Amino acid sequence: MSDELTSDLREVAAQGETLPSLSGAEIRVRAVRRRRRRRTAFAVTGACAVAGLALAVVMNLGGGTDQRPSPAASPTGTPSLPAAPDATVDLSRRVISVAGRELPLSSGSAWRPTAAVRMTVTAKEPVKLMPGEEAGIKDDYSLKVPWVIELSASDGTGRTNYIAALTYDEKAPGNYDRTTGWIGLRQTDAKWLYEQLSPGSVIEIEGRAPSPSPTVRPTTTPPAATSGVGGTGTSGG
C-alpha cells in the first residue's frame, strides 16, 4: 500500500508541475538587472537626501530669507542740460536781454573787465552804499546806488557781482564801458529789471567787451556822492 501511494503522489506531482518559461541563464540575467536597479534607486535617494540637507543648512545660515541678486542698475539717461537763463548779458553788444527786451549796459573797463560766467541772483537792495573805488569814482567817496541786484557765480568759485543803475553817467550804457566790473544800466531800465528778476533767477554773461575807444572818457559829477569829511566832489572819470 505504501508503494502504491507513493507512486500515485509522484504521478500527481508530475502532472501539476509547470516547467519554467525562462532558462536558467535568463533568470540570472534578470536577477542581475534587478540588483542594479535597486542600487541606482538607493543612490538617487541618497543624493536627494544630501541635497535637501545642504539646502536646509544654507537657508538657516541666511536667516530663512529668500536671497535674490539685486537687479542690475538701469543705464543712466542723458544728462539734463542747464536751465535756460532768465537774462542774457552780451558784453560785446553792450545789451542785456530779458523777457523780449534789450537794455543797454555798461560793463567793466579794459582794466577791470566783467567776467563772462553764469551767475544767479542772490539778493536785491533798492539802495546800496557803495565805496568809491568799487563804484568807479574817487577812493575817498561813497555813492548811493539804486536798484542793486546782487549776483553769485554758479560755478562754485564764490565770485560775486551785481547789476545796478549807473546814475552818475547815464550816457555810458550802450556806448562805452566804465565800471569796475559790475553791470551798469540807465536808472529806468535798472528799476524795471529789479522788478523783473528775483532771487534764484539765472543770468548768463557771455562775450567780451569791445576795445575801449581812444577818445577820452567823459568827466562826470556823481550825485549823492559823499567824501569822508562830508563834502562832495568830482569823479576821476
Cell triple for residue 208? 567780451
Is 92 part of any domain?
A: yes
The owner of cell 542600487 is 39
What's 108's DSSP letter?
A: B
pLDDT for position 143: 85
77 found inside a domain = no
Residue 140 lies in a domain: yes
Q: For strand 141-153 and strand 118-131, is the pairing parallel, antiparallel, or unpaired?
A: antiparallel
- Kindly report the CATH number assigned to the domain that includes residue 175: 2.40.440.10
Apex 8 CA angle, 6 and 10, nearest 5? 70
In a domain, 173, yes or no: yes
Which is it for strands 183-185 and 160-165: parallel, antiparallel or unpaired?
parallel
| Cβ 89 vs Cβ 183: under 8 Å | yes
Inside any domain, residue 82 = no
Closest CA to 164 of 236, 207, 222: 222
Q: Which residues of the chain have pLDDT under 50?
A: 64, 214-220, 224-237
Q: What are phi and psi of 152, to 5 degrees?
A: -135, 140
User: Would 150 be classed as within a structural domain?
Assistant: yes
Q: Cβ distance 178 to 106 under 8 Å?
A: yes
Spell 57-69 as b/e; 16+ CB within 10 A means b. Answer: eeeeeeeeeeeee
Q: How many domains is the chain built from?
A: 1
- What pLDDT is stored for residue 141 in this prediction? 74
Determine contact, residues 161/181, Cβ cutoff 8 Å.
Answer: yes
Q: Vertex 89, ends 86 and 94: CA angle to 5°?
A: 145
Handedness of CA 184, 187, 189, 192 (dihedral sign): positive
Whether residue 30 is contained in a domain is answered as no
Structural domain harbouring 134? 87-211+222-227
199 close to 124: Cβ distance less than 8 angstroms? yes
Residue 234 within a domain: no
Give the N- to C-terminal CA distance of the chain in Å, as an integer: 164
